[in-house]
Chains A and B, each alone.
Chain A
Amino acid sequence: MWTLADATLQSRFLIGTALYPSPESMRQATQASGSEVVTVSLRRQQAGSGGGNDFWELIRSLNVHVLPNTAGCHTIKEVMATAHMARELFDTNWIKVEIIGDEYTLQPDTAQLLAVTESLIRDGFEVFPYTTDDLVVAQRLADLGCRIVMPWASPIGSGQGLLNLYALETMRARLPQTTLIIDAGIGKPSDATRALELGFDGVLLNSAVALARDPVGMASAFRYALNAGRAAYEAGVMQPRNMAQPSTPTLGTPFWVQSN
């Protein structure tokens, strides 16, 4: 059991709902993941369609916490309007803030992220900021009142895994009281295990499951990977050594003779 904002959760796996081959595949994968938090978004309503109710009904049937995002926003004004629309529509004050600064890498604009986070916290939101692995930005987000910070491991959808272990390990060490979720870049279950071994509190991913040949099987694989990583972190990973150390005791080894 752990605490995310004010929610008590079993799973450390936060999962996206996009890119699946079908809604049914998304439903099954989400259930197989064991996740209790799913990310959702907003799109322009098509005239006469009534709204995205089929999707929303499906999400509600999963009985999970919903984390709306501000994907596609490039300005503070867009993020503020999107966050308020999401709060009304999804009936939650949780918001994953994405404010993109570079189209090629989808790297967040961290200067604007800090400014909009301050406004959103003032308006009563629980901000889940999507940020880079920049330590000082993460510290400033925590200073503003973020209980959760979500650094990328590598660019969104790239599946490149944990590109900067030094930065991530440093962030974990320097922000011991902040809930740190790896958001973006996880490609395979071993990436998620590594993140949890380092002491990260959870992982948020979408593409790695949705784009797998078998999304349901991959959701299950990530579930085990996260559990393994967390168990390893709690058990305490041994310190690496440069030299070999025999694991079998040498005392009483047959045929052993003192050379001098």
Chain B
Amino acid sequence: MTILINDKPHELDEPCSVAILLERHGARAGSVAVAHNEQFVSRANYATTIMQDGDTLEIVAPMQGG
């Protein structure tokens, strides 16, 4: 199955939680925020939000802004 993380394709063998994906992505807890299929996912729901084939995940971090 294929998912998109920050618009880049990633292959997964099986459905996988957001918590595991964040760990694989090297994102430190508390330093990023997440949207699954364009819906916000709170930290409390990382472990129970499961990525399915075709899903998208946005992982964002603080940056400069005007």
Contacts and interface: CB of A to CB of B under 8 A. Distances in A.
A85 B60 contact: yes
B39 A51 contact: no
Nearest to B29: A51
A42 B60 contact: yes
A86 interface: yes
Nearest to A66: B62
A154 interface: no
A89 B60 contact: yes
A51 B32 contact: yes
Contact of B39 (A50, A59, A69, A81): A81
Main secondary structure on chain A at its contact with chain B?
mixed
A26 interface: yes
Contacts of A53: 28, 31, 61-62
Interface size class of A (residues with CB under 8 A): 35 or more
Nearest to A75: B38
B3 interface: no
A203 to B, nearest CB: 13
B66 A39 contact: yes
B59 interface: yes
B48 interface: no
Interface in B22-66: 25-28, 31-35, 38-40, 42-43, 58-66
Interface of B: 5-7, 25-28, 31-35, 38-40, 42-43, 58-66
Given A45-B27, A51-B31, 8 more contacts: A16-B65, A41-B62, A52-B63, A71-B65, A85-B33, A86-B33, A90-B62, A206-B66
